[in-house]
Structure 1
Amino acid sequence: MTDVEQDIASSDYLVIPVDSHVAEVAGRYRPQKFADYFGIKSRRETQIIGVGDKLRINIWEADSQGLFSTVEGKSTAIGSVVDQSGRIFVPYAGRIQASGRSVESVRTIIQNALVGKAIEPQVQVTVEGNQTNSAVIVGDVGKPGTYPISLAGTRLLELVANAGGSRAKTFETMVTLKRGNRQAATLLQDLFDVPENNVLLVKGDNVLLTQKARSFTAFGAVTKTTIKEFPTQTVSLAEALAMSGGLNDRSADPRGVYLFRFEDADVVRKFRNVKSGELLTDAFQVPVVYKLNLRDPKAWFLARYFEMRDKDMLYVANHNTAEFGKFLQIIQPLLSSARATQLIAETAGN
């Protein structure tokens, strides 16, 4: 164990050397499914009629002499809007409670109410103006507003497309879905990468799109201490080192490259021979320090496939001789002065 590891070793952290198994599990991991966050489901719900919805009611009869027959045919189309009381009016059927019921339920009620009044009535109900079954999208989109949810079901990506799409790059756009008192967030890119994340919307859903540039921090014995934004969708550990100017040739210890991250507990549970103690007890994220030894040629290949995540902290330890070098720099002026004095004295003596 190096001096750095001795300093950070604690029951509050896990120090995990990066090998091929760790690189595969953690470096290529995609976060928990957006659909599972906070119990948000992707199931399709039955469309319910609400106040303000516009309905079209088509009524057919078996005889041209019926109540709803016309010169043109044996049917009549009636338009109706659900009023504040949640009711609609249908001739000869009266005022019918529509709000809170499905389209099929309202159709059945109207048809049964017309039995004995119309001649073998057949009824069809369609929703033309869907004010209740809608979702709201705001933020960094082309056309924010309220959009209806179709009977076939509208998915999150469809809503974003209908609203004109995101103004920012997909891997820099955070999508937040609020449903009742629950909410979840994921990158817009994750809706493409993980199809299950592209959930079906339900009435009352609120969607917020915000631009969120991802970044990492590099410090320690690197050429340049910096905070860097991700220029592309993915950035590997090797690329992150290059973006920070690489290791400082004079002070860096290639054996001590560390990545600090709050890792998902599900990932840590997959690591072999990791004694986590109480860290994984009811934990959602675990403080983890990944260690990479660049003296091993294999580590360079692992660094290429180990992907960085937002807010990762990259630290390169100083070599043991670096501290001695700093000491020499401090005393160098003193040594130079002493040497100059000695030369003067030797010259004077001659």
Structure 2
Amino acid sequence: MMRNFVRNVVAVLALTGLMACDGAIPRTGPTKDEVFESSVQRDGDTYIVVVNRGIARAAEYTPPLGFSASFRNAPVLQPDEIRPGDTLGMMIWENVQEGLLEVAGTPAPLTQIQVDGEGKIFVPYAGRVTAAGKTPEELRDELSQILGAQTPDPQILISRTAGDGATVSVSGNVGAQGVYPIERPTRRLSSMLARAGGVTIEPEIAQVTVLRGNLSGRVWFNSLFQTPANDIALRAGDRILVEADERYYVALGATGRQSRIRFESQELSAMEALAQVGGLSTLTADPTGIFILREEPEFVARRVTGQKTLQGAKQVAYIFNLTSGEGLFAARNFTVRDEDTIYVTEAPISQFNKAVSAVFGSLTTVASVQTIAN
């Protein structure tokens, strides 16, 4: 009689303790059922979408990187064209013993002439002459005609040195940051990056940004070679920045690691993202309750929900069931995006074990109490 009484008391205390712990059990976040309670189907504000391979395809959308038509359609600069800020080397010979510019047969020492902001240069006996927009050969012909009216058959040699008017700046993760002239071998983006020592980070995650006046464009470094149109012609004053991919996602819940994780490749699947954080917790994770939370643009929200009248961006919670083959393949094909949140719910048995542990320490302790009672 006494033994049965003690056993009954233990059982009552256990049930009472479990009831007292309801709602106060430590956990990593909401359960699967609680997430469903926030769904639109239950008067919430989140669309719950079960992921299969069809949904994975429908949700495929990556904000594109690339250059606009103004970047792509710009023609290659003629490297010999003179621009404001350039420095010209000039020598003039005259076909007379006592010339205007020569001294005893020595050519005029006009070795360095700066092209001013208006694109002009000053040459003695020729005055201010427009040089910008011309090639050295065209400028030579013009000066020959002007000076030819004052001295017979002048011989002029002009060379162009790329100066302030034909340079770009290269910064970020490159071998040698600096200001570089646009020359014949470096008229395109890829060759200019090579001139700056190449990228110093993994090419897979390197992004290249070009700023041109008020315009900007960004591409993956690898795309300069995969898509020739991205290897744009440079313009004077371009600013080139090379930096690592800044995209990230957040992992929460019953995963091996809860943190903010950077992308390690240009494309990342849900399966790869889970592996990157150490997979599911073998003790607590519910493999039927894995969520990816994001705000979808209108056209994607319409595709994945099947509702063609949705207006504006919508909160969508994609749920994966990794206990089925379809779920495993769907997770492998589903693309994770920048700022996604991956949340893994805890299994119901995990909550039960925590409740028992909160009262008795563990189920083993309960068995010990019953043994004593017996």
TM-score by length of 2: 0.67
Letter of the aligned partner of 1:6 in structure 2?
E
Assess if the C-alpha contact under 8 Å between 1:4 and 1:317 holds in 2.
Answer: no
Alignment partner of 2:359 out of 315, 327, 331: 331
Structure 1 residues 29-66: Cα deviation after superposition (integer angstroms, max 9, x where no partner): 553232039x755522766643331346799xxxx99x
Q: How does 1:1-350 map to 2 (within 5 A)?
A: 3-7=34-38, 9=40, 15-24=48-57, 26-27=59-60, 29-36=61-68, 41-44=72-75, 49-55=82-88, 81-84=113-116, 86-90=119-123, 93-99=126-132, 101-103=133-135, 110=143, 113=146, 127-150=160-183, 154-212=187-245, 215-232=248-265, 234-261=267-294, 273-275=306-308, 277-280=310-313, 288-333=316-361
* Structure 1 position 123, deviation (Å): 9.4
Report the counterpart of residue 73 of structure 1 in structure 2: none
Q: Alpha carbons of 1:148 and 1:111: their partners in 2 closer, same or farther (altered >3 Å)? A: same
Shift of 1:205: 1.0
Q: What is the deviation of 1:178?
A: 2.0
Output the amino acid matched with 2:343.
Y
Which consecutive residues of structure 2, in runs of 5 or more, have no partner in the other structure?
Answer: 1-31, 100-107
Which whole-Å deviations, capped at 9, do the CAs of 1:188-230 have from their partners, x for residues lacking one?
3444454443332211111222345654332212244344444
Q: Kindly state the Cα deviation for residue 107 of structure 1 after the two structures are TM-superposed.
A: 6.7
Q: Partners of 1:309 and 1:108 in 2: how far apart?
A: 59
SS in 1 for 2:68: helix
When residues 328 and 344 of structure 1 are mapped into structure 2, their CA distance, relative to the original with a 3 A threshold, is closer
Deviation at 1:239, TM superposition (A): 2.2
Deviation at 1:130, TM superposition (A): 4.1
Kept in 2, the 8 Å contact 1:172–1:214? The answer is no
* Stretch moving more, 6-15 or 176-185: 6-15
Q: Give the drift of 1:102.
A: 4.6
8 Å contact from structure 1 (residues 155, 200) kept in 2? yes
| Residue deviations 1:123-149 (CA, integer Å, cap 9, x gap) | 997633343121101122111111122
Identity of aligned residues (%): 29
- Paired residues in the alignment total 331
Aligned equivalents of 2:285 and 2:204: distance in 1?
Answer: 33
- In structure 1, distance between residues paired with 2:227 and 2:297: 17
Deviates more, 1:16-25 or 1:167-176: 16-25
Structure 2 vs 1, CA of residues 232 and 334 (structure 1 numbering), >3 Å: closer, same or farther?
closer
Q: Which runs of 5+ in 1 are unaligned?
A: 68-75, 281-285
Residue identity matched to 2:289: G
For 2:165, what is the secondary structure of its paired residue?
Answer: coil
Amino acid of the structure 1 residue aligned with 2:269: S
Q: 1:36 to 1:184 in 2, by over 3 A?
A: same
Shift, 1:93, TM fit: 4.3
**Aligned equivalents of 1:144, 1:34: Cα separation in 2:** 23
**Partners of 1:8 and 1:102 in 2: how far apart?**
68
Per-residue CA deviations over 1:215-255 (Å, capped at 9, x if unaligned) read 43322122443444445554432122233333334443333
Deviation at 1:272, TM superposition (A): 7.3
Whole-Å separation in 1 of the counterparts to 2:134 and 2:297: 41
Q: CA deviation at 1:259?
A: 1.7
Deviation of the 1:315 alpha carbon: 1.2
Query: What secondary structure, in the 3-state scheme, does the structure 1 residue paired with 2:191 have?
Result: helix
CA distance in structure 1 between the aligned counterparts of 2:226 and 2:359, rounded to whole angstroms: 57
Higher helix share: 2
> Once structures 1 and 2 are overlaid, which stretch shifts more, 203-212 or 138-147?
203-212
| SS, match of residue 259 in structure 1 | strand
Shift of 1:294: 2.2
Structure 1 residues 11, 250: CA separation in 2 closer, same or farther (over 3 Å shift)? same
Question: Which of the two has higher C-alpha Rg?
Answer: 2
CA drift at 1:162: 0.8
Distance 1:193 1:18 in 2: 32
> 2: distance between equivalents of 1:247 and 1:32?
31
